[in-house]
Every structure is written in structure tokens, then in C-alpha cells.
Structure 1
Amino acid sequence: MLGAVVVGMGTAGWVRIRDMLAPLPGSPAEKLTVKGFISRRSLGTQQGVSQISVEEAVNREDIHVAFICTENESHEVNIRTFLQAGKHVCVEYPMTLNYKAAVELWDLAQEKGLILHEEHIELLTENYKEIKREVEGKVLQEGTLHFTGGAVKPGFGFPAFTGIARLTWLVELFGELSVTAATIEEDSGNNYSKMTAKLKTSENKPLMWTEECGPGLPRGRNINFRFDSCTLTEIPSAPKGAVGLFMQDLIHFSAKLVGQDTNQNRRTAAILVLPHYLRENPSNIRMCEPHGETLDVAMNGMQVGLLIGHEGVLDDAFPLQIFNVAVVVEEKIVIYNLRDGKWVCHTNGHYLLCKSGIPALHEILI
């Protein structure tokens, strides 16, 4: 059994305790047992679980896992505290308020051989799964997503960050996005804010994302996605899932803890990280999903190749007039427009032979 402590006793913390006390039968979540909770408030016993201090939690040998359920700005310090104490960590989304801190924490987890898991229940909702099915195969022409909700509580970050779950929706649905413009309206006296960001897809199709928060505003998402074949103006309704969102996430996390991640999960992780691994200095990139494995180990048995476009006569073992290079993993192009020869030469000594005198695009497996 793995002992756990819950840090923060808001709604998420309360649900984490509830789910560990009554895990889904037969799931890896049964391996977790809650040993206590931490709160700035003096709350006594909650759901039969005792309140303990941070000092006690980090020093107890029967506590192996920490669930961080505090406000966003406190995530970083709490994650660091428990990782340094040798505890696995599950943190509510978003993990930190900036990229640099997130990378440091991933590195720290890997160095200590610990699991660092970031919850994102937005992508586990039945509504999200349904809308993803609706847009699959369709070509976006333009779209808007306007979120409204109550006033943002102190400590949860600036508007673009408190709404990052909606941005994640857009990225998951339509791929890589870039920002072309953004504005923000704020009335601090009335705790009101409205942020509007103009985005574009990799195909230069416009998307507008709006986050509007203030007292009395109903919580909701209004969409208008125009495709080549139809227009989607409502999020499709979907029946409630048989397993709760936090329970689904608890099962994912506990599966990592007990080593039940599948090889398919490892392959997916490797594909997702490869473009960043190639673009950045490898010493600054770490694989933390799956935990504790290097890129080479995670990609064992995978098909990885180069697509090299060149023209002109092939006078040497390797073409010199290269106009495009792409990296292919499991039949999917994960990075392209690599024209610098330093990328091409990382092929373990394999070279490309192609027809001379005409433009060509060929594949080489490495």
C-alpha cells in the first residue's frame, strides 16, 4: 500500500480524499491509502481523516504520495517540497505559472526517480470526448470560444492562465496555435476581467478565444466553429460517465505508481516529446512520461525515420542540395522543415540513395 497526504482542502482536496477512501474496485487506485491532509485552516478531522502538518508529512515513512490541491500560485513550492522529501506528486492542473519552473520540477522528479503527474480532468470529460469526435476529420475555417464564469479567486493567476484549460481544448482540437493579437479589460473594483486573444492555426485559420469572469456571470462555454462542411454552435451533450473525472485521473496516476503503464503509453509519450527533443538542447529536455525512462528506452522497437527532399545529381553518398527534411515516427510526421545538415547527419551512419536528376522525397529508417 502507498500512503498519501492531500495538500489543500477545497473541493478538489475533499474529492481526492473521498475517492481514496472508496476507490474503484479492481483498479490500481486500491493501492492508495490516505494518511492525512494539510490545510492552512484548522479543520480537525475530515471524512475520518486527520489534519497533519507539512513537517509531519514530509518526514513520515508511511507517506509516499502527495496530492497538491491548493491555489495555482502555491503549486510550485508544494511540489518542490514533496519531491525533495522523496514523495511522488499528483498536482491539479496547471502545474506551475511558468514554463521554466515546470521544466525544473520535471527534472527534479526524474533525478529523484519519482512520479510527477499533472491532472487535467478537462480532457477526461464526456463533453470534450464528444466534441472531439464531432470535429474529427473536418477542416476548420474559423472559430470562436467564449468562456464566462464567476470572479477569479486570488492566487489563481492571470486571465490567460486561469483559462488555460480552454486553450488546451483548442490545441487538442485544432493542433498547434499561434497568437496574433490580444487585449484585456479589467475592472479591479468590481473583480471583473475580459481577455480576448486572436489565434491562428498552422493552416492560418483564425480562432478567437475569450475569457470573461466576474461576479454573477454564469459558467459556460459558447462556441462557433465553422468547418468546410458544417458549423458547430453548441457543445454536444453527452451522458455522464460511469466513473467520475477525479476517479479516472486517480486511476491513471496510481497505475503509474504501481508500474502498470503500457508500452503504448510509452510510445505515445515518445512521439509527443520528440519534436521538442530535436529542436532544443537535449540536455534541457527530459522525459517524465513515462517516468524514469530515457528517450532511447521509451522508443525501443519504434519505427523512426527521415523524409529527405533533395534535387540535383547524386554525386556523393549523401545529397547536398536538400530542400526539406522531416522526422517520421510510427508513420506520423512529427517535425519538418529541417534544412540544417546537422539534423540530417544524426542517422547512425545510414545514408539515402535516390534517383538522380529529379526532385525526390524518400524515407530512411534508422
Structure 2
Amino acid sequence: MKGFVDQIDVRAVRGWCICDVEVVIDRRFVVDPARYFIRSDLADSGVDGRAFEIDLASALPGYTPVEIIVRPRGHLHPLPGGYLRLGSLKPFQYVGSNAQARVHNERLMDGATRGVCLFTSRAGGTMLTDLIRAHPRAYGFAEPIEGFVRGGKAAFSEWLDDYFLLPSVIEYPHEVPDPALMFMTTKIYRHDTDLFPMFNRYGVKYLRLYRENVLKQAVSDLVARKLFSENRNFNLERSEDGGNRARREKIRVDPGALLAKVERYQKAEQLVDDMIATYAEGAVMSISYEQLVSGEIGLRKVFEYFDLEWVSVSSRHVKVNSDDLSEVIDNFDEVVDVVRRTRFAHFCD
């Protein structure tokens, strides 16, 4: 789309475009130009189109914008020079778009699939979000509800409206031409039954992600907690490591504590399955972490489910643990001896 913005600040927006434009303020307000006019400097150069100028101070008296997006009407992304962010922002300030903005955005996102992945911790949700985000026609957001500890479910519901109707500010101005999928992951707990009506009203496609081996899932949780204590992050990115799997020191494991954690994980996984069966409406597909990491067949299945054409993608994150727990657990023989005397013995095979 031909056009550009040559002035953008809290007072005014000025530019040129071959079609009508709209200005989105803080993802909450849509302001249309009060007038279009011919700019002699462009006309003399033989440039087609119309100039526009918007007095933001008059359009929103007393309001100080935090983010300004200038875009052609009917298009999702800004004109060149048409994006401005001011101050130190938190992504979850972008909630509560007015009705006019949502009508615009809903039209732009018509036909896009909304996808939600439900899982428990250490099941591969971060990795899957990374893989989907790498697709050229998909937006992906990992566990956004974690940012609403203070605002609660009501604030998340408002934000969700904006996310499913307009790409997240976390991604913006990352451009996804003709977006086909708005995807997010979230852990799910017993008290989260009220999330399902929020998702159901958008006709989301649910993806159930799980681990086939909950013993390895529990060990992964122990390693991740140790990793977090060292660098304040539960995951490692490829730039930090350079390989496909991080080399880490072995950890000593209390067999009794590990068994208790395996028990909790197994109950949590069953709870998620029961909640989906009871509250989810529409399509549901299940896939395991093991299927995702065993080759491209698992990821192809996910892409096909979300109506995405296949492209080869990779995650920024590296695998922290070896699938061989003897390379992870310092007292491996002791742990295995205890586990083999329980109903979880098959996870040692």
C-alpha cells in the first residue's frame, strides 16, 4: 500500500496515502482524518494520492496517547513511519478497545483461526508457541494470562478480545501478512473453568498438549527450577547455548519427593482432560510432547489442524534435559529402584 507518515507525535499525525487511513490510539480508539487535501510538494512530483492531517489533541481532548498506529483503512499494518510507542509500557495496558475499533479489527481478522493450547507445566507449551510463531502466517503468544495476576480474569477477558481481534502488542509491529492463525497457550488449573466461556465465544480450536511420560515431566520440572534459580529463566534459548541440547550438571533427586510430584502431575493431567471434556465447545485435538519432538510429522499434524500450510520452522529454545534420565539424575540407580516398586514403574522403560 503506497503512502507514508512524515509527522507522528502526541499532538498530530500527518502524511500521505493513496487511500483512506485511520489512526488507532492505544488499541482503544480509532480516529479518522477530519480532512484530506492536496499537498503541492507531492503533486509537483507527480505523486498520486491525498495528504491527511489529524489533530489528536482536538480529537481526544485531555488524553495523552501511549501508542499510535497509522494504517490504511481496511489493512492491518501501519504505513511506513506510522508506528509510535511512547514511554515505558507494559503489554497488558492494551485492553478495552472501544466498539468502533473492534468492528474495524474484526473485519480485518475475518477468516483467521483462533487456537488455544491447554497443558500443564513442562509439557512443551513454550516450544510449541515458538514453532507456531515462526510460521509466516501465524501470531503466537505464550501464557498471556500469567500477566494478569493483579488484574484478574476480567482484565484478561478484555485483553483477549483485543488479541483475537488485533495482533498482540508483544508482537507488534512484527508483520504477519494475511494472518491465518491467532494462537496462544495457557496452563489450566481447577479454578480456571471460567476461561472456557471466554474461549468458546470465539469458536477457538483447542489443542491438548501433554507428556506421555510424567516421570520425565516431573524430572524436567526439578531441572527447570534449578535453572531458574541460576538465571531467572525456566528455559534456555539457542543463542545462550548454541546447540540442540544444553549440557548441564546432574542433579540429586529425593525419590519420595519425585514420586509425589509424579502423582501430582498425573492428577493434573486427568483434571485437564476432564475440564476439556466438560467445558470445551468445538474442535479438540490432542498431541503429545513426544510426538512434537520426534520429527516433523507431529508438527505437520498441528499445522494442518490449524489450517496452516506446511513450512519448515525451528524453535529458539534448546532442550534442557536428555531423554536418558541417567544423564540427568546423579543418583539414578537409587531413584529407579524406588520407582520400579510403584505403579509408575513403566515410566522407567
Normalising by the smaller structure, the TM-score range is under 0.3
Greater helix fraction, Structure 1 or Structure 2: 2
TM-score (norm 1): 0.23
The TM-score, its normalising length taken from structure 2, stands at 0.24
Higher strand share: 1
